[in-house]
Chains A and B, each alone.
Chain A
Amino acid sequence: MGNVPSAVKHCLSYQQLLREHLWIGDSVAASPDPAQASPLLSGLPEDVKIVEVGPRDGLQNEKVIVPTDVKIEFINQLSQTGLSVIEVTSFVSSRWVPQVAAGATEIAVFGAASESFSKRNINCSIEESMEKFEEVVKSAKHMGLPARGYVSCALGCPYEGNITPQKVTEVSKRLYGMGCYEISLGDTIGVGTPGNMRRMLDSVMKEIPSGALAVHCHDTYGQALANILTALQMGISVVDSAVSGLGGCPYAKGASGNVATEDLVYMLNGLGLNTGVNLYKVMEAGDFICKAVNKTTNSKVAQASFRA
């Protein structure tokens, strides 16, 4: 900006600006001349499914223990937002049957594209973990429960550093082959950039249809939305995120973790893509949980919209 005095002048409030969806989404919706349309942002999926991992991935990485009634209220608020998938399970162990009895509708298995990460996290090799998951996924199938597979360290590992796209593909293919309906590829420490996101997806998409893939980007280095955009440009249509960007990074003290659902929805709305999600309601849920855990939101949209 030029010589703008720091005092706020009379202008539209942000609530007003946000409500003017017309001018946020108009540019894509009202594309006049197909011949003029740049091929860059055509080819994006029309519908994007957001998998909300705040109650699980988010809260589990927050220091404050959240009382059950707060968690329930949080999940209830999220259920009003239009989000079609809200992850509430915490982990899968050999004792997952009680969780199923408690009403779980889906299970998740967590693999990794790094031997060191696998060893440190679940105390076994990748191969051993896959054998365990085979049993779990098979049993779940018998009970009519779908299984979602996660691949951690898809763009880098806190112990091994670089992870090859081939390794990610191998692990993903294994999980998909054993019956996982969807594979969520996670940039666990948020080190990825659009270049290696593209290379990794190029490799994985040779073995697994894009319709069965999701990306789970952490915003530790501020790269999440740029990486997600790259994935969308390649045809991925399922994206994981967490309201308020809950959940720090356990590998980098002070660093941020998940990409904020609010900021993701803002981008997808602007791109004219359907999510079925009401941004205001998401912001309200975010405001609720941040007050409950006594922390400031990691969502820039929320920061810009709520009076500090």
Chain B
Amino acid sequence: MGALPKQVKIVEVGPRDGLQNEKNIVPTPVKVKLIHMLSEAGLPVIEATSFVSPKWVPQMADHAEVLKSIQRFPGISYPVLTPNLRGFQTAVASGAREVSIFGAASELFTKKNINCSIEESFQHFDSILKAAQADGILVRGYVSCVLGCPYEGKISPAKVAEVAKKMYSMGCYEISLGDTIGVGTPGAMKDMLSAVMQEIPVAALAVHCHDTYGQALANTLVALQMGVSVVDSSVAGLGGCPYARGASGNLATEDLVYMLAGLGIHTGVNLQKLLEAGTFICQALNRKTSSKVAQATCKL
């Protein structure tokens, strides 16, 4: 068996990926407080918001205000999603120092999502990456649909490797490989990572597993066994799946931290404080947590 990494960096996507997929709109002060509580919990990276048009994602309409209002803890980064150059420029003007851009390993998904081909999307990214380089802004690249696509079905590991390699070579410092609809299982994760790791050093890779079919933690474990040491997750497992009504979405940060702590892997995260952040946001959203650790009241 592969040796597990001694430390894992958790990228908390609750305030962005999580909230963006929640039905109930959350007021700005609640978002700011959530991010504050997550900072107190010690998460090293907290994706704060998305500079996307409010027409598409009303939940993220207050992006500028959120970014300007949050208290930045030293040593913690607060990246924001920027779907295009205009979003990027607004984000930087609002104080962003790191941004995320979204590619996909599926032509159909790219077409349906951003109305262009994969190749055209690279051209859009190029303009953002050039501007980012000029401004000294870090860029994180996401690749969606790495283990399956809601439109195309099967996605080949070779395609994932091709897209990931392109985004990495264009200047993304890290590539987050997303099982967008959560259909992947450990074998598929292994095959996909094997292909990608031939093109990109493992230290620059992250996995972003959705728990729609309950496979997220098992898939994450396999990724760790292969040397991946950056994992995305969402407090309370916030964010349903837009492709399957009633289904769950992100892997819950609490459950991930529980496993990593049990494995003796250092994350820097205080589980108790994280649980408090989860309780807070679930109350604000008037929903039950999707984290099993949070649901269990029996403390050992």
Contacts and interface: CB of A to CB of B under 8 A. Distances in A.
> Are A and B part of the same complex?
yes
Contact of A260 (B191, B214, B293): B214
B243 to A, nearest CB: 6
A14 B262 contact: no
A226 B256 CA distance: 11
Contact of B83 (A3, A8, A192): A3
Contacts of B150: 11-12, 17
Given A193-B263, A303-B246, A221 B293 contact: yes
B144 A1 contact: yes
B183 A17 contact: yes
The CB with the most chain B CB atoms within 10 A, among A28, A194, A252, A304, is that of A304
A2 interface: yes
Contacts of B154: 20, 22-23, 26
A300 B259 contact: no
A308 B248 CA distance: 12
A143 interface: no
Interface string A41-71: 1000000000000000000000000000000
Range class of the A interface residue count: 35 or more
Interface stretch (B26-34, B38-46, B165-173, B218-226): B218-226
Contacts of A4: 20, 113, 242
B298 A189 contact: yes
Contacts of B244: 14, 304-305
B138 interface: no
A253 B258 contact: no
A8 B153 CA distance: 16
A270 B148 CA distance: 12
Nearest to A272: B187
Give chain A's interface secondary structure class: loop
Contacts of A9: 112
Range class of the B interface residue count: 35 or more
Contact of B298 (A28, A255, A267): A255
B214 A220 contact: no
Given A270-B184, A271-B186, A2 B243 contact: no
B278 interface: no
Given A22-B154, A221-B293, A256-B292, A6 B246 contact: no
B221 A230 contact: yes
Contacts of A12: 150-151, 153
A288 interface: no
A3 B187 contact: no
Contacts of A308: 245-246
Nearest to B22: A6
Contacts of B157: 27
B245 A2 contact: no
Contacts of B300: 156, 158, 161, 189, 191
Contacts of B298: 158, 189, 220, 249, 251-252, 255
Interface string B133-159: 000000000101000101101100100
Interface in B220-266: 220-222, 225-226, 241-248, 252, 255, 258-259, 261-264
Q: What 7 A-B pairs are tightest by C-beta distance, nearest first?
A: A270-B185, A193-B262, A308-B246, A252-B298, A23-B154, A2-B102, A222-B292
Given A4-B242, A5-B57, A266-B213, 9 more contacts: A1-B102, A23-B148, A158-B300, A193-B259, A226-B220, A233-B1, A254-B295, A269-B185, A303-B247
Interface of A: 1-12, 14, 17, 20, 22-24, 26-28, 36, 38, 40-41, 156, 158, 161, 189-196, 219-223, 225-226, 228-230, 233, 249, 251-256, 260, 263, 266-267, 269-272, 299-301, 303-308
Interface of B: 1-2, 17, 20-21, 23, 50, 52-53, 56-57, 81, 83, 102, 112-114, 142, 144, 148, 150-151, 153-154, 157, 178, 180-188, 190-191, 194, 211-215, 217-218, 220-222, 225-226, 241-248, 252, 255, 258-259, 261-264, 291-293, 295-298, 300
